[in-house]
């Protein structure tokens, strides 16, 4: 017994097939190399950057309104060998005046030569497969002077082996990560 479809059933079948084909084409417009799901997503408020296998994660400054703060972040070495962060300095700094300071891997920057300065910085050893957090668990934190909340600081990170990284890091208020707001000047807190 032969089954035949009415012309209405043929039209419905053709329309359903066209709808499926069109939906596949329209859905494909959002896929490709520039699809939003293929774009990097940074859930952190700090800056992320990479130099080869060395990764910098969530680098930021927590500072007070007068421009005194601390550098925060994590450095991860995914390389097979050890490396070290030998310098962090303002990108927009004037070159050092003396030859000895210019030859140093991390020339000393002052308020006269840079828009902001880093103090208490010592080279960070980045062991292969390891991570280093700032501020350190022991020892002095890296202090930043001249970076005020709301600014972006242009810095250059120089490594012993990995290439340098030029990034802009945000300056946030010191109480940015506080679980409760700071008390008001008159002693009252908003609740």
Sequential DSSP letters for 108-144:
---TTT-SSEEES--PEEE-TT-EEEES-SSSPPPEE
pLDDT at 178 over 60: no
**13 and 86 part of one domain:** no
CATH number for the domain including 57?
2.60.40.1890
Nearest one of 46, 69, 49, 54 to 125, comparing CA atoms: 54
**170 and 106 part of one domain:** yes
* Structural domain includes residue 150: yes
pLDDT at 3 over 60: yes
Q: What is the residue range of 27's domain? A: 7-38
* Structural domain includes residue 71: yes
**91 and 70 part of one domain:** yes
Nearest one of 129, 153, 133 to 141, comparing CA atoms: 133
Please state, in angstroms and rounded to a whole number, the distance separating the CA atoms of residues 54 and 52: 6
DSSP letters spanning 176-191? GG-SSPPPPTTS----
**18 and 91 part of one domain:** no
* Structural domain includes residue 188: no
Q: In sequence order, what are the residues at sequence separation of 6 or more whose Cβ sits closer than 8 angstroms to the Cβ of residue 95? A: 102, 107
Q: What is the pLDDT of residue 17?
A: 81
**143 and 64 part of one domain:** yes
**24 and 58 part of one domain:** no
* Structural domain includes residue 117: yes
- The more confidently predicted of residues 52 and 97 is 52
* Structural domain includes residue 90: yes
**53 and 97 part of one domain:** yes
Strand partners, 152: 170
**17 and 82 part of one domain:** no
Please state, in angstroms and rounded to a whole number, the distance separating the CA atoms of residues 155 and 91: 5
Query: Which pLDDT tens digit goes with each residue over 128-149?
Result: 999 999 998 888 899 999 999 9
Q: What is the pLDDT of residue 86?
A: 93
Global confidence as pTM: 0.68
Q: What is the pLDDT of residue 60?
A: 94
∠ CA 130-56-112, nearest 5°, is 125
CA 147 from chain centre, in angstroms, equals: 17
Nearest one of 114, 53, 127 to 88, comparing CA atoms: 114
């Amino acid at each position: 017994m032969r089954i035949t479809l009415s012309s209405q059933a043929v039209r419905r079948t053709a329309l359903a097939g066209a709808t499926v084909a069109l939906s596949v084409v329209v859905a494909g417009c959002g896929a490709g190399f520039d699809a939003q799901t293929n774009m990097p997503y940074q859930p952190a408020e700090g800056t992320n950057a990479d130099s080869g296998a060395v990764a910098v994660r969530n680098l930021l400054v927590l500072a007070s309104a007068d421009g005194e703060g601390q550098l925060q972040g994590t450095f991860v070495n995914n390389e097979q060998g050890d490396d070290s962060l030998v310098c962090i300095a303002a990108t927009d700094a004037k070159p050092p005046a003396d030859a000895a300071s210019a030859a140093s891997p991390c020339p000393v920057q002052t308020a006269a030569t840079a828009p902001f300065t880093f103090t208490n910085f010592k080279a960070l050893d980045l062991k292969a497969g390891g991570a280093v957090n700032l501020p350190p668990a022991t020892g002095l934190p890296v202090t930043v002077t001249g970076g005020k909340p709301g600014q972006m600081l242009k810095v250059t990170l120089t490594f012993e082996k990995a290439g340098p990284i030029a990034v802009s890091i945000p300056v946030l208020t010191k109480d940015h990560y506080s679980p409760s707001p700071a008390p008001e000047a008159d002693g009252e807190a908003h609740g």
